[in-house]
């Protein structure tokens, strides 16, 4: 029987935007700097992170294996190479949390020792402002303690849900890629506002605050979006006229096709 180490140290492999977001979030959530280690091979970037956060930054991926929990915040195409370095040094009972789109828990388990716990996570970029949405799926050797630790890590930068791994590609399509769809819509609204004669700064503020307020209504009221939409839509009014045009141009169908494309690409990345 294997036992987990009790030091509680977490290693973050990958110091890009999401890796740094998790690092700063964990520190704000109360993790001590000495509990964290970051793997970054670029000397200039390593010095920057060490100075900014007061954490240990190392260039050797294998060195991260000494931590109890290893966060893999790397691109899907880099995962095999990273696992080749860190995998052999991981002992049973350690926890590996992967944030790479499309990479399955079974793929990671094939590159580490039997008994290493794996959790697959799909986060999103609003984690940058502590409003992230992360979906977690446990692997074969993941117990309740492992899953609770993974949830605590991601909860430092937003909200967390648990889903079966078979649903992760759909999660990627909705929330992983979702912020880009929202930004795309806001961009279109701003451009339309300018076209209609508004100053760009005013159009931007109107669109952004409308988005923020609408999201707050969805969260705080718990109402179905269709109910809230109907509350804004007076018969024969301006909103009804606008929504008719969106339906005529197939916006709803376009969103479905877009999310299916994102789901399919997530599957391709995993293969």
**CATH number (domain holding residue 208):** 1.10.3730.10
Return per-residue pLDDT of the chain as tens, 271 residues: 333 443 489 999 998 999 999 999 999 999 999 999 999 989 999 999 999 999 999 998 888 888 999 999 999 899 999 999 999 889 999 999 999 988 999 999 999 999 999 999 999 999 999 999 999 999 999 999 999 999 999 999 999 999 999 999 999 999 999 999 999 999 999 999 999 999 999 999 999 999 999 999 999 999 999 999 999 999 999 999 999 999 999 999 999 999 999 999 988 887 7
Q: Is residue 3 part of a domain?
A: no
Q: Is residue 42 part of a domain?
A: yes
Following DSSP, what letter does each residue of 87-129 receive, concatenated? GGGPPTT-EEEE--TT--HHHHHTTS-TT-EEEEEE--GGGGG
Q: Is residue 216 part of a domain?
A: yes
Nearest C-alpha neighbor of 99 from the set 118, 65, 74: 74
Report whether 2 contacts 115 (CB < 8 A): yes
Choose the final residue of a domain: 168, 188, 212: 168
Token pair 């080749």 is found at 84
The number of distinct structural domains making up the chain is 2
Angle at 21 between CA 159 and CA 50, to 5 degrees: 145
Choose the final residue of a domain: 113, 133, 168: 168
Q: How far apart are CA 185 and CA 29, in angstroms?
A: 32
136 shares a domain with 47 = yes
Q: Is residue 183 part of a domain?
A: yes
145 shares a domain with 52 = yes
Nearest C-alpha neighbor of 71 from the set 81, 60, 82, 80: 82
Report whether 174 contacts 146 (CB < 8 A): no
């Amino acid at each position: 029987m294997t036992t987990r180490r009790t030091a509680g140290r977490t290693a973050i492999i990958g110091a890009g935007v999401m890796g740094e977001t998790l690092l700063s979030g964990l520190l704000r959530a109360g993790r001590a700097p000495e509990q964290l280690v970051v793997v970054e091979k670029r000397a200039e970037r390593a010095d920057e992170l060490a100075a900014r956060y007061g954490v240990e930054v190392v260039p050797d991926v294998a060195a991260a294996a000494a931590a109890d929990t290893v966060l893999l915040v790397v691109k899907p195409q880099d995962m095999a190479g990273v696992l080749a370095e860190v995998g052999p040094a991981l002992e049973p009972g350690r926890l590996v949390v992967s944030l790479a789109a499309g990479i399955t828990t079974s793929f990671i388990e094939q590159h580490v020792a039997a008994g290493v716990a794996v959790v697959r996570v799909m986060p999103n970029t609003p984690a940058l402002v502590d409003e992230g949405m992360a979906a977690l799926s446990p692997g074969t050797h993941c117990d309740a303690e492992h899953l609770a630790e993974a949830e605590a890590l991601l909860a430092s930068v937003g909200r967390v849900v648990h889903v079966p791994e078979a649903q992760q590609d759909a999660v990627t399509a909705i929330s992983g890629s979702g912020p880009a769809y929202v930004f795309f819509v806001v961009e279109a609204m701003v451009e339309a506002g300018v076209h209609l004669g508004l100053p760009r700064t005013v159009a931007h503020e109107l669109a952004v605050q409308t988005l923020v307020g609408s999201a707050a209504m969805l969260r705080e009221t718990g109402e179905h979006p269709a109910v809230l939409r109907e509350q804004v839509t007076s018969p024969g009014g301006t909103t009804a006229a606008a929504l008719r045009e969106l339906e005529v141009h197939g916006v709803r169908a376009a969103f479905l096709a877009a999310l299916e494309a994102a789901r399919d690409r997530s599957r391709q990345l995993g293969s």
